[in-house]
Amino acid sequence: MPRSVLRLLAATCHPGPTVVVTGLATALAAGCGLPRRRVLLVGATVLSGQLTIGWGNDLVDAGRDRVAGRVDKPLASDPAAARVVRRALGVATGACLLLSGRCGGAAGVVHVVLVVGSGWAYNAGLKRSTASILPYAVAFGGLPHVPHLTRGGPRHGPAPLWQTVAGALLGCSAHLLNVLPDLDDDAATGVRGYPHRWSPASLRAQAVAGLAGAQLAVLAGARPPARPARVAVGLGAALAVGVLGGGGKAPFWCAAGMAVCDVALWAVAGRGCAGGTPPSWAPPPSTAPAAAPSPAGRGEIA
């Protein structure tokens, strides 16, 4: 495949969010105790779904981006490139359906309907309504269920409630911060979703509240050791400052950093699945027989 085509596909797939969501899903799968092949399957499944959302978004918005003069959008400056992106979208859609099915019936339905379906609903028109934040809450809240419901793990069932709550709050915050740099362009083309009804300062404050709520849900649900918890809270506070004061895409990347901290907390706690199943990379418990008690163990002083 020519490099120019690869560059086009990379630029139009929304690479930042695609990489972040795929990485988080892969880390969740590893923490759930899935075998390595299943971890890679979950990662590939989520990647294919995110590619369909990213490419679909740029195809739907091509005309609006052209009116807004978005030189950073290849389809706005080169309408002929849309044919290449449409073909890639078709391939990614087929791969998404196939890989989702390989994850198992429940996991596949959750991924296609809740995660990918929410992204497509956003692209199709919800982004222009007050309910634009809803697809992000549903998609990110549903994302932890994909690895939990994937066949082949030590536990097979829905994700814990705290992961759903944390995911939904992270998704809402990501929506507010992802739209922040595009508020003026959106206003010029008539897009008026949930974030467009608030001032930039209010959006930043709402995002920080959501990110803090997500971290509290992880702390309460995963119950990590005290030291990693303190480190994560400190990093979260520093990243929150970046959300409140950063320019451009910096607030979004600060939010992504907080999401990484949350997943790391969960992994350190070793509570990937409901019931406390340790992650697949955790060492097995020792099977050595217990040592016989010494005379001092009978109440005598050694």
Is the pTM above the cut of 0.75?
yes
The Cβ-side half-sphere exposure at 79, using a 13 Å CA radius, reads: 4
Residue 280 confidence (pLDDT): 41
Lowest pLDDT segment from 57-61, 260-264, 285-289? 285-289
Same domain, 53 and 164: no
Instruction: Say whether pLDDT at 196 is over 50.
Output: yes
Question: If we measure between CA atoms, which residue out of 1, 53, 44, 51 comes closest to residue 25?
Answer: 44
Cα separation of 182 and 211, whole Å? 21
The 10s digit of each residue's pLDDT in 169-189 is: 999 999 999 999 888 888 888
Q: Is residue 146 part of a domain?
A: no
Amino acid at 17: P
Residue 199 shares a structural domain with residue 105: no
| Per-residue confidence (pLDDT) for residue 154, from 0 to 100 | 66
- Beta-carbon contacts of 137 under 8 Å, excluding residues fewer than 6 positions away, are 168, 171, 172
Q: Identify which of 132, 247, 124, 175 has the alpha carbon closest to the alpha carbon of residue 17.
A: 175
The residues, any chain, with a CB within 8 Å of residue 147's CB and separated by 6 or more, are 25, 28, 29, 31, 32, 34, 39, 42, 107, 153, 159
pLDDT given for residue 287 in this prediction: 45
Q: CA 180 → CA 8, 71, 99, 284, 291, distances in Å?
A: 24, 18, 33, 46, 61
Residue 78 lies in a domain: yes
Q: What is the number of domains present in the chain? A: 2
Same domain, 109 and 179: no
Q: Is 281 within the bounds of a domain?
A: no
265 with 173, same domain: the answer is yes
CB 119 within 8 A of CB 139: yes
The residues, ordered by sequence, that sit 6+ positions from 278 with a Cβ below 8 Å of its Cβ are 33, 270, 272
Q: Which residue type, as a one-letter code, is found at position 70?
A: R
The letter for the amino acid at 219 is: L
Is residue 118, in this structure, part of any structural domain at all?
yes
Residues 205 and 117 in one domain: no
Report if residue 150 sits inside a domain: no
Q: Are residues 120 and 173 in the same domain?
A: no
Do 113 and 68 share a structural domain?
yes
In tens, the pLDDT along 207-238 reads 999 999 999 999 999 999 999 999 999 999 99
Is residue 302 included in any domain, yes or no?
A: no
Do 98 and 164 fall into the same domain? no
The answer to whether residues 124 and 216 belong to one domain is no
Q: Closest Cα partner for 263 from 279, 251, 277, 250? A: 279
Residues 216 and 113 in one domain: no
Range of the domain at 209: 160-273
39-55 residue pLDDT tens: 999 999 999 999 999 99
Whether 8 and 115 share a structural domain: yes
Q: Which of 155, 31, 53 is nearest to 114 (CA)?
A: 53
pLDDT in tens, 63-121: 888 887 888 889 988 888 999 999 999 999 999 999 999 999 999 999 999 999 999 99
Q: Is residue 186 one of the residues assigned to a domain?
A: yes
The position carrying tokens 């892969």 is: 26
